Structure 1
């Protein structure tokens, strides 16, 4: 299991049958092992069942929330996964799955951070505690936070906000390594500091 292909993607809504079918058809053609989706905008468990029927992959774990833009999901393409635990930390916004994937223990966290500052900070504080384990962690999602001036294009001068500082602090405290739009924390790093 040295190379896991992970895609994280903000789909900006799968609520209508037409957009759901079009997006699922597109995503199913991609080459991935684990797919994390954000901003799914599914409202009911009937919507979740309909998406699962269309998807028809090995395992799918979906969390819906109360806000119209909520919804995160983790999809596995192959059957080589055993789900140990699933928790909706913040329904529709912060989903945790502990699993065995090809015999290796993983914690996968998929998040879609809210636009409001207080909600962003609340999510990051919860995330911090989810990182305190001794096996591999994969974090995917849409943080909705800019931590460096080079991460945005704007005529407005970059200013590091409270939530940006908190994200950087969490990343440094837990030796988080950015790889693309995903974050990976090697278990060997965690083992060496315990």
Structure 2
């Protein structure tokens, strides 16, 4: 009996290792070429946890067997640092404070969009950032989020750019630095988009990309399987297939979107900042393609797990701030400010 159990555990351990290795491929293989690794990349934290479990288990039963999972984790050690940081990197005050926040249409107060918008503006004023990138902001010509009034309330912010991705909402970049150029990156067959803003910081021009990539388009309130994962029910199985298809579609659409943004990043004659809602995890093709040789502010100066999504779906870090070699990052922070299904993130930069 003990021998049979050991064989079963060994088989499950090997399966966990194979899944972990496949998850490493997710950052290199475009999901519109082969989408299966993207699911493993999405599940990376859970797969990693399973391998850690086997390391502890074998340490108690047969220590030599733990080497398989240990080596597999070591191979992808760089992935771990994308999810967990222990020390952080702090400074009293940087040259530039950057903040990014998906405000979810100002729906955080249960339908009172005006109340939510006012609280968010108060939060932004308190943070006193030099560059603010918002996604999913309602931009109708009414008093919910009036940009000139908002800029006046923020005090140090004097310039802004916005672009509608639909008739009602879009992305906004606000800054205290003069804007000398701006543009939009539109994607086909979707309301997601990116805007870029050239600002003058001292004598240097910096291009800011405010990014909002394709979401999974999943309403958690519509699917009972999210709250009650009973896979013996036929309806739940149907829902899981539908959710899986939405995930696959989003993976593939984001692949095309990040290629387009990457072209603009590579063509930029200036140092760049890339901020926004990626709707994808650090173990993804989207993250890897956009990051390229840029630095991830969380990896460099963050602390903790850094999750930014707080909806009903599994919680991961999907909001990011990247920067080019012209800067150093300090004081990365994720705010426990829950007026959206995302949490705001910020960092402070020093020019090299």
Superposed pair shares fold, TM > 0.5: yes
Q: Is 1:22 equivalent to 2:122 in the alignment?
A: no
Q: Structure 1 pair 14/51, CA: closer, same or farther in 2 (3 Å)?
A: farther
How far 1:52 moved relative to its partner?
2.5
> Which residue is equivalent to 2:99?
7
Secondary structure class of the residue paired with 1:13: helix
Mapping of 1:175-190 within 5 angstroms? 175-180=293-298, 181-187=320-326
Mapping of 1:43-62 within 5 angstroms? 43-46=139-142, 50-56=146-152, 57-62=157-162
> Which residue is equivalent to 2:350?
none
Where do 5+ consecutive residues of structure 1 fail to align? 149-163, 189-194
Mapping of 1:1-194 within 5 angstroms? 3-14=95-106, 16-40=113-137, 42-46=138-142, 50-56=146-152, 57-66=157-166, 70-76=169-175, 78=176, 81-90=177-186, 93-115=193-215, 116-132=250-266, 133-148=268-283, 164-172=284-292, 175-180=293-298, 181-187=320-326
Highest RCO, 1 vs 2 (Cα 8 Å, sep ≥ 6): 2
CA contact (8 A) 1:48 1:62 kept: no
CA contact (8 A) 1:20 1:51 kept: no
Say which structure is richer in strand. Answer: 1
How far 1:183 moved relative to its partner?
0.1
Q: CA RMSD in A?
A: 2.6
Say which structure is richer in helix. Answer: 2
Q: 1-side partners of 2:97 and 2:259: how far apart?
A: 28
* Greater Rg over alpha carbons, structure: 2
User: Number of residues paired by the alignment?
Assistant: 165
Structure 1 ranges of 4+ moved more than 3 A: 45-49
Scaled by the length of structure 2, what TM-score is found? 0.42
How far 1:26 moved relative to its partner?
1.8
Secondary structure class of the residue paired with 2:104: coil
